[in-house]
Structure 1
Amino acid sequence: MTGPVIVQIAEIEVTSSLVRTPVGDFPLSGSIWQVTDHWFAQRSTPAWAKVLAVVGICVTAGLSLFLLLYKEQIPQGTVHVTVTSGTRQYVARVPIRRESDAAAINQQVNYVRSLAAL
């Protein structure tokens, strides 16, 4: 028995002594963790601004088209978390929906790194 899951990063589960992945279990002690960002922020006009611009054309005769200039940043892509133990390796690809998701994943991996160093 390995104990309860302490941290879960995508499909990777970390217990007090093991790293569980879909391809098998690795020992936590001595495992190496890497995080690689593969995401970017795309700028686009939100749907609410498009709707208000179309509806507002009837009321303000074109002034509402300035709403189409409003842009918001939408993160797209993934963060890759790689765990290596000996000759075995596994990569989890975690989709990003907000910029704070990438920071949270980095914090989780840093915590697991500290556990692996014990």
Structure 2
Amino acid sequence: MTFPPDDPWGTPAPAPPGPPPGPVGPRLVPPQVPAPAPDPGPAPAPRLPNDPTIYVGPVIVQIAEIEITSTVVRTPAGDVPLARTQWQVNDFWVTQRRTPTWAKIAGVAGVCFTGGLSLLLFLVKESVPQGTVQVTVTNGPWQYVARVPVHDERDVHTINQQVNYVRSLAAL
């Protein structure tokens, strides 16, 4: 749009000659209705990518991030058939002896009242297990290692029982 220099009110100059203007208003397009999708029927059972004959069912046992179904071992590294898997458990935990918190508080708080006799509470010790249990599952060249933190001897016993149960499932 250009304005002539002598027009103080800014009225637009006539448009240059060109093609005639197109139709005014929106262009009407008939609506397109998508065809209904065909019914896929019942969903097929989930399968492993490499073995189409293996059915993946519900999780029976879970050891850390390893999930075991009746036919498959699922890990973050991938799935592998449960048959012919080998399982190994290694304990990497120690029991430390330390003074419990309650004995430290009572020993310091009681110094004023017992004349230092309460400091004998610092001799009280408790056993605190710390560490991990390493569970290794192997199937041919494929291997996965899970490290499970343990806080009690019962945790170690429970993990060993779970692995023994999975070994019995793998032998079937």
TM range (shorter): over 0.9
Higher relative contact order (CA 8 A, sep 6+): 1
Q: Give the match's secondary structure for 1:78.
A: strand
Where structure 2 has 5 or more consecutive residues not aligned to the other structure, the ranges are 1-45, 47-55
Alignment of 1:1-118 (within 5 A): 1=46, 2-118=56-172
Superposition misfits of 4+ residues, deviation over 2 angstroms: none
Query: Rg bigger for which structure?
Result: 2
How far does the alpha carbon of each residue in 1:59-110 deviate from its partner, in whole angstroms, 9 at most, with x for none? 1111111110011111111000000011100000000111110000000000
- Considering only aligned residues, what root-mean-square deviation do their CA atoms show, in Å? 0.6
TM-score by length of 2: 0.68
The amino acid that maps onto 2:86 is: I
How far off is 1:39 after superposition?
0.4
Cα offset for 1:13? 0.2
Q: Secondary structure at the match of 1:103?
A: helix
More strand by share: 1
Letter of the 1:107 counterpart: Q
Percent sequence identity is: 66
Q: Which structure shows the bigger proportion of residues in helix conformation?
A: 1
Q: Secondary structure, in 3 states, of the residue corresponding to 2:132? A: strand
Deviation at 1:20, TM superposition (A): 0.3
The alpha carbon displacement at 1:26 in A equals 1.0
- Paired residues in the alignment total 118
